[in-house]
A and B are shown apart, each in its own frame.
Chain A
Amino acid sequence: MVLGEWRAQPGRTLAAILAIAVGVGLGLAIHLVNRSALDEFAGAIRSVSGAADLQVQAASSAGFDEDLYPILARLDGVATASPVVELRARTDGGEPLTVLGLDPLRAAAVTPNLLGGGAVGGGGEGGVTTAEAVFDLDAITLSPAALQQSGLRVGDQVRLSAAGQSASFRIVGILEGVSGDRALGVIDIAAAQWRFDQLGRLHRLDLRLSPGVDRSAVERTVQANLPAEAALVTPQSEMRRTESLSRAYRVNLQMLALVALLTGGFLVYSAQSLSVTRRRPQFALLRVLGLPARGMLGQVLIEGVVLGLAGAALGVVLGVALAELALRLLGGDLGGGYFSGGRPPLVFTPVAAAIIFGLGVAIAVLGSLFPALQAERIPAAVALKTGSGESAETAGQPLPWLSLGLLAAGGLAALGPPVGGVPLFGYGAIALILAGGVGTMPWLARGLLGPLRRLRSPAPPIALAIARLWGAPRQAAVALCGIVASTSLMVAMAVMVTSFRGSVEDWLVQILPADIYMRLDPGLTLDPEAQARLAAAPEAAAIEFRQSFNLRLSPDRPPVQVSARGQAGAGAGEGLPLVGRQVTAEGLPAWISEPMARLYDLSPGDRLTLPIGPGAQAQVTVAGVWRDYSNQFGALILDQAAYTALTGDAGRAEAAMTLAPGVEPATAIEAFRARLPPSIAGGADFAEPREIRAVALRIFDRSFAVTYALEAIAILVGLAGVATTFSAQTLARRKEFGMLRHVGVRRGQIMQMLATEGALLGAVGALAGLTLGVIMSQVLIHVVNPQSFNWTMETRLPWPLLASLAAALVATSAGAAVLAGRGAVADSAVRAVREDW
């Protein structure tokens, strides 16, 4: 019987299955991609930090004092401490790589994978002969990726630049223990300190603990011995940091996928409702034949389970395929820009797949539950007698209090705080508003169609259409719920993305006021003399030199970006897109970005200690908060003169140039480059704001590519749902058309009636979807985004998109109704009428 029903309605069944499959597939794909990326990223971390039990990391690239090394090495419970100098370097070919300066004898006990075959502990054959390279200060061992990237081979010389110095090394081996595409080079720690001007400084201490010690006790002792410029990092906290990098982005995508699944649920509901309605006589007959009411419920539920199983199974296949494709096309962060480089291999997680599969089935069953209950309640006698597929609509629809209650609850939930950095209440609000909104549809449909009834003498087909929709709003609502759900979600996303993009564009204009921006390669800096030479260029009206570096303020959080900027005579806060109030700071002022203010709970007037400068205890006062979209983990701006006074670092690696009137940017760049010291000129990048803006927006669009794709899929599923639902409803009304033909309505008029009905329903759906979507977008803009990413934005409505969406909906609805109607009306009027008697 189930099969019979589905054979009769293949389109609708397929749409329901597909909807579930798309939801399950998207959810699984996003999960798998992230899992794979995180695994890869964690692997990369492990390969750089080796097998260390604990790690102490410098708060900034300035490192910490090497005297910490013997202090930690002597602590009880620390078996071995391996000191590390970590530098961002560039080969003479320009390829970036991380250079680690290690003491191989210590690393052998803590991080043996960071040693090549030539080192002690590498276990080469012949034993002692392998020790040759151990203390070779001119030797470097490269990871396979670094070798491949630079096209060098073992035995070649390679010249490296880092921290403004350069030195040549002979490649003596391959770091087989460093997997993946991590470009890494290992040199001796003494060479690293000497050649790259890091005397007395370390960036990392990798610790191996004695077997059997109380790990947390050791962590506490280590912690107690750390200066402010160093922080304890455990593999767990590192992992947490990695996850927190992309967590909000990931959760957002995941929620979107679940929303797609929810849309699938609505489609199942609408398909099953129609199917139940259509089968009323059949069910009634079964009841009369003695099948208990429970049996009806059971049958519809089983149909739901089968739909769900088929959809979810298809979804898992789809999900794995999508994940594979996404990893190949977008990389591990789905274009989010969180993990640099690398296409991680797909990691399949059966548990997650099972959970999402189960969710898919559950939603399908849930979608079938209401129609099933309805089937159970079919009074046999009445249904048999009317012999009609139409449900008996209760005349006056009461105000949908339940739905209004859901909407109100959604509004309240939107006020909730984030849970563990994830705006769960925000998503809850969206779900509640969606459910409530869909629930009000019958009432809304009547309300919207009401005025049409008062139209004076409309053409008969239109009058018929209005009368029908007015008379059977629940059925109209069933047809609408899928489309309203998908439309509103799409509108919400579109409004959010448009608002975000608009705000970013405005921000880019504000934050990039100069004519040309210059940035030097990592490790290169301009000393004051070079700065003065550059500033003296006649092409420049003014040059603001800047220095920026990463500073870790909390071991579990990614570092914040600290920039020293500001021109002489003007505060560093000048020209920043400030939000909120400002204070005149006592002492050193600092301007912090919006994400930093939210992450570290700071507001203007608050004091903050930065681990920089002598004693690593620079006290600054928050003078203002500025809008920043470029650094999700926080950024802080210091006055450049104050920065130099604090740290003694007068070098600058960035500059913002305002050109003298009439100077062409291209000419100016030539002139500036010529004024740079020859050793630096090759490592300087000049860009015009125009280019920077274009690049920034390209990155923005890329990171939202997945979001756009999700939206498109949601809307396609929604439209498919509309099409199949309308076809079904139209086909079910054969006898009605036959009747109309008998009373003299022409075939063309019936088609007109159907088109009107479809268009009206589409219009109602579009209107409801747009309204609901805009409401939900406000939750996304004012709750979800600030809570996930710590930034705010201003609402902008994408009118062309909204208008074309509405038009597409109306057209699809009308078109689907007409297409289905052609088949239904083609039958001879007599046959259509006879069929039912």
Chain B
Amino acid sequence: MIPRRAFAGLLGAGLIAPATPGLAQDRTGAPVFAPVRPGRSLTFPADHGAHPDFRTEWWYVTGWLQAQGQPIGFQITFFRIRTGADTRNPSAFAPTQVIFAHAAISDPAVGRLIHTQRIARAGFGLAEAKVGDMDIVLDDWRLRRVPDGTLKAYAGDQAFGLDLSLAPTQPPLLQGERGFSRKGPRADQASYYYSLPHLKVSGALTREGRRIAVTGEAWMDQEWSSTLLDARAVGWDWAGINLDGGGALTAFQVRDQQGQAVWAGGSLRGPDGRTTIFAPGDVRFVTRRQWRSPRTGARYPIARDIQARTPAGPRVWRLEPLFDDQELDSRPVGPVYWEGAVRTEGGRGYLELTGYDAPLAL
């Protein structure tokens, strides 16, 4: 989804000349980004790999861990950004692709996020997103798919490290029209998007040098696109919830200045695999409670109801955060936003809230 995609969006805007033809003209050698069109069918494992012709791409893993009986939320995220750098530059350092990654844990005992991030220009095998299957490297951080289909993830620094195996238990969930996911009123405002819900997690969480065995359940999104948000958009909300019994709920909305949805969407996959795709009018985010960040002053609607029209009639999921302060400050590379572990009756997942501190300048 676009949400987590906060980084990608901003990196795209900040680091890279926009892909609009108008700007591409003043520099010959500017890259031509591949468009996102409906009708392309996703094939795996090739589509687990990178799509370097597109402007932005992310692999976004979020989930809940059990560490010594305590719940801890985590996220490991890798972004690939194709820049506007002159494609004629033959240097191996030519910054045509940038890899950015982010890791955070939400420990209620700490009461706020512990996070760390990395960024590098792709090249020399030190930072690469492989084509053909999932294998993203950023120095010693890595997210790759091994032959049995399990995802292996490592990310961390001195303060904490996540060394996880994420085993799929279900086939990929194709969002939108078989993986073509609209993000705005214009037809070209779209992305390719699939999710891997109900990943079975095992591995270790290292904190201050102490290694703790963990288990848990996670969710992975992979999404790639060349076109970003609608001009009216100032931010977005996203939630991905692993429902007990094997169901998966995805919901997102793109908001305008007034907080109204410019676009919305999502899906509900039942334990039996039957999937309902939400049209913009099918899904709504309703705020129950806001939390004000003491650091940035931003007010985040951290307790939400997700209302959706489903084949079985209207449903409401009451999302409650694991704890309030899950604000993530990724400046100067990325924005300030809220990305936190949430639970609902009969499910657990992650909620992302962007554009509340400052409108995302695009």
Contact = CB atoms under 8 A, between A and B. Distances in A.
Interface of A: 66-67, 69-70, 73-74, 80, 83, 103, 105-106, 120-124, 126-132, 134-135, 137, 188-191, 193-194, 199-200, 211
A-B complex: 7 closest residue pairs judged by Cβ atoms: A127-B331, A193-B91, A70-B124, A190-B93, A131-B14, A190-B91, A135-B95
Contact of A194 (B11, B90, B124): B90
Contacts of A74: 126
A128 B332 contact: yes
Which of A67, A120, A135, A211 is packed against the most chain B CB atoms within 10 Å?
A135
Given A127-B331, A128-B331, A194-B89, A120 B119 contact: yes
Contacts of B335: 127-128
Contacts, number: 93
A204 to B, nearest CB: 14
Given A194-B91, A194-B94, A211-B158, A135 B332 contact: no
B89 A137 contact: yes
B361 interface: yes
Nearest to B360: A128
A298 B124 CA distance: 78
A274 B289 CA distance: 99
19 contacts: A69-B126, A73-B139, A74-B126, A83-B93, A120-B119, A120-B332, A128-B11, A128-B14, A128-B333, A131-B14, A131-B15, A132-B14, A132-B15, A188-B95, A189-B93, A190-B93, A193-B91, A193-B93, A194-B90
B85 A134 contact: no
Given A120-B119, A128-B333, A135-B85, A189 B91 contact: yes
Nearest to A67: B124
Contacts of A66: 92-93, 124
Contacts of B336: 127
A131 B332 contact: yes
B334 A128 contact: yes
A103 B93 contact: yes
B332 A190 contact: no
Contact of B14 (A129, A189, A193, A199): A129
A121 B124 contact: no
Contacts of B91: 189-190, 193-194, 199
Contacts of B334: 127-128
B125 interface: yes
B38 to A, nearest CB: 31
B120 interface: yes
A122 B358 CA distance: 20
A135 B100 CA distance: 14
B121 A105 contact: yes
B83 interface: yes
Interface in B263-312: none
Interface in B58-108: 83, 85-86, 89-95, 98
A128 B158 contact: no
Contacts of A211: 158
Contact of A190 (B14, B85, B158, B358): B85
- Interface size grouping (class) on chain B: 20 to 34
Which of B83, B332, B335 is packed against the most chain A CB atoms within 10 Å?
B332
Contacts of A103: 93, 95, 120-121
B292 to A, nearest CB: 20
A28 B173 CA distance: 79
Contacts of B98: 105, 135
A189 B92 CA distance: 10
Contacts of B333: 120, 127-128, 131
B114 interface: no
Nearest to B158: A211
B10 interface: yes
B92 A105 contact: no
Contacts of B11: 128, 131
A66 B333 CA distance: 27
Nearest to B140: A74
B95 A106 contact: no
Nearest to A83: B93
Contacts of B85: 135, 137, 190
Contacts of B358: 126
Contacts of A131: 11, 14-15, 332-333
Which of A80, A131, A132, A200 is packed against the most chain B CB atoms within 10 Å?
A131
A822 to B, nearest CB: 84
Nearest to B29: A137
Contacts of B119: 105, 120
A63 to B, nearest CB: 13
B332 A122 contact: yes
Contacts of A191: 89
A114 B176 CA distance: 46
B157 to A, nearest CB: 10
A190 B15 contact: no
Interface string B319-352: 0000000000001111110000000000000000
A792 to B, nearest CB: 48
Given A74-B126, A132-B15, A194-B90, A127 B95 contact: no
Given A103-B121, A131-B11, A132-B15, A73 B126 contact: yes
Contacts of A124: 332
A96 B10 CA distance: 38
Nearest to A119: B332
Contacts of A134: 15
Interface in B116-169: 119-121, 124-126, 139, 158
A70 B90 contact: no
A344 to B, nearest CB: 34
Contacts of B90: 194, 199
